Amino acid sequence: MDFSTDDDETHSDSEYPNYRQYNVEEDYSEETTDETSVSTESTFDLTLPATHSYLGSNLAELIGRTLLEDAVYANVPLLVKQSVVLFPGQTLPMTVNDAQTVDIIKACLEDGRILGVVCLGYDKMVPVGTIAEIYEYLYNDSEHSCCLKAIGRQRFKILRVLRQDTNKILANVRILPEITLGPPFFDERLASLNHLRINPKTEEDFKKQERVENLDAVVTPWPAWVYRQYDPLRLSLKIRQCLQFIQNKGSNIPEDPAHLSFWVAQNLLLDDNERVALLSYNCAISRLQREIKYLVDDKIFICSICDSYIGRQSNMFPMSKEGPQGTYCNPAGTIHEIVTLYHARGLTLSRSPPSVEYTWFPGYAWTVAMCKHCGAYMGWKFTAVESNLRPKAFWGLTRKSLKNKEK
C-alpha cells in the first residue's frame, strides 16, 4: 500500500526548519512562563481555538446530520492519516491541497457529508476508525483546494476494502455499537433496600452507598468491591478527581461516562497504539479502567527521539474549552495534535521572530521550538501579542514529539 503522498510528509518551510542549519537561542521559559501566571490569571477566551478561525470566517455551515445506526454496514470513503486517531466528539480541522483528497471530500459532501478517518500505522492502516461528519466547508476554485471542519461521530471496524486507487479508498465498514451498562448487580438488587438508595454524585455519597451495596452483594457470587471496579459512575468520579487540575483552569470535562472516556482518550498524551486500543473498546467501562492507570501518577514527558526530560502531565493546562490537547492544521495540510503546557524544559527556540500568521491561538504569536539535546522538532512557543493577555506565554508541543517516560 502506497501512502507516500500522505500530506504529513508535506512540511512547510516555516514550520519545519532544517534544525541543523538553524541558529537557536537558549530556552527562556523560566522567565516568561511560570505556574502562577496561568493558574491564577487567564484572560484568554478558551472558546476561540475550538472555532479554528485561522481557516477563515467564510466557511459555509452545513445543516443536518447523518447518523448511522449501531451495527449497520456501510460503504464509506476513507481518509488515512499518519498519527491521526479521531475520537467521537473530537473536532478535526483540515486544509486539503492535494487534488485526490479534494475529490474525495467533494464526493462525500454530496453523499451524507461523512467519511471514515483511519490512522496509518507503521505500514498499514489500523482496522478501526471513526466516522467524521463535515459541518463547515469552503472550496477554493482557483487553487482546487478546500478547508473544512469535521467532528468525530461513531466508531467503525473495516470489514473489506472495496476499491483502492492510490489515496482513494472505499471500504465496507460496520458501525461499532457503544454498549452502556447500568449499575452493577442491578437485577439482583434487594427491593427492601430501595428506600436507602440515592443517586451518588460525590465521594461521600458513594461511601454511604457502600453499606447498601455490601448487603446487595450477599446474594451474588462476588463481594461488592469486585462490582465497584465496574461501576461507570465511580470510575468517572475517580477520573474527574484526577483531572481536577485541568478542570480548575477552565476546561469543560464531560460528566457522562462515555463522553468522558473519549475526552480523556483525546486529551491524554498517549501513543498511537494506546489510542487505537482505547478506540477499539465498545464500552466506556473498559476505556475508563484503562485510562485511570494513566492518571494516578503524574507522568513525565520526554523527547520521543532522545528521551530527555521536557515536562510533566501536571504541567498540561487547557488553552481551549475542548481540553489541553487539540487538533489543528497548517496551510500545507499537515494535521498536528498539540498538547499545551505552561511549563517545559530542554527546549530551544528558532531565531525567527514570533509570527501571528495562521496562529491557532488568536492573540498569540508562535516560534518554532526544538529539543535542546537532539534538535528534534517539538512544536512551538506561543507568546501573547497584547500586554494584557494572560497567560503571557505557553508551549504547544506535538503529541508525536513526546512520550511518557517508562518507569
Binding-site member from 212, 215, 356, 376 for Zn ion (CB under 5 A): 376
Residue 77: asked if its preceding bond is cis (omega within 30°), the reply is: no
Binding-site member from 277, 295, 374, 389 for Zn ion (CB under 5 A): 374
Q: Does the footprint of Zn ion cover residue 305 (CB under 5 A)? A: yes
Q: How far apart are CA 31 and CA 26, in angstroms?
A: 12
Pairing of strands 347-350, 91-96: unpaired
Single out the segment in contact with Zn ion by CB under 5 A; choices: 143-151, 167-175, 304-312, 330-338: 304-312
Q: Measured from the CB atom, is 259 or 373 closer to Zn ion?
A: 373
H or E element that contains 339: strand 335-341
Binding-site member from 190, 198, 218, 306 for Zn ion (CB under 5 A): 306
Q: Does the footprint of Zn ion cover residue 373 (CB under 5 A)? A: yes
Q: Measured from the CB atom, is 94 or 371 closer to Zn ion?
A: 371
Closest CA to 93 of 135, 64, 62: 135
CB of 87 to Zn ion, least distance (A): 28
Single out the segment in contact with Zn ion by CB under 5 A; choices: 124-132, 216-224, 317-325, 363-371: 363-371
Which DSSP category does 268 fall into?
S
- Long-range (24+ apart) CB contacts under 8 A made by 309-315 are 309/345, 309/346, 309/405, 310/344, 310/345, 310/346, 310/347, 310/371, 310/378, 310/397, 310/402, 311/341, 311/343, 311/344, 311/345, 311/395, 311/397, 313/268, 313/269, 314/245, 315/341, 315/342, 315/343, 315/344
Binding-site member from 125, 288, 303, 338 for Zn ion (CB under 5 A): 303
CB of 373 to Zn ion, least distance (A): 5
Task: Build a one-symbol-per-residue string for 249-288: x at contacts with Zn ion by CB under 5 A, - elsewhere.
Answer: ----------------------------------------
CB of 22 to Zn ion, least distance (A): 15
Q: Does the footprint of Zn ion cover residue 302 (CB under 5 A)? A: no
H or E element that contains 365: strand 364-371
Q: Does the footprint of Zn ion cover residue 369 (CB under 5 A)? A: no
Q: Measured from the CB atom, is 67 or 306 closer to Zn ion?
A: 306
CB of 310 to Zn ion, least distance (A): 8
Pairing of strands 114-120, 325-329: unpaired
Single out the segment in contact with Zn ion by CB under 5 A; choices: 58-66, 126-134, 169-177, 365-373: 365-373
CB of 370 to Zn ion, least distance (A): 8
Closest CA to 37 of 353, 328, 392, 399: 392
Q: Does the footprint of Zn ion cover residue 347 (CB under 5 A)? A: no
Cell (9 digits) for 239: 477520573
Residues 6+ apart with CB under 8 A from 354: 365, 366, 367, 383
Q: Which residues are near Zn ion by CB under 5 A?
A: 303, 305-306, 371, 373-374, 376
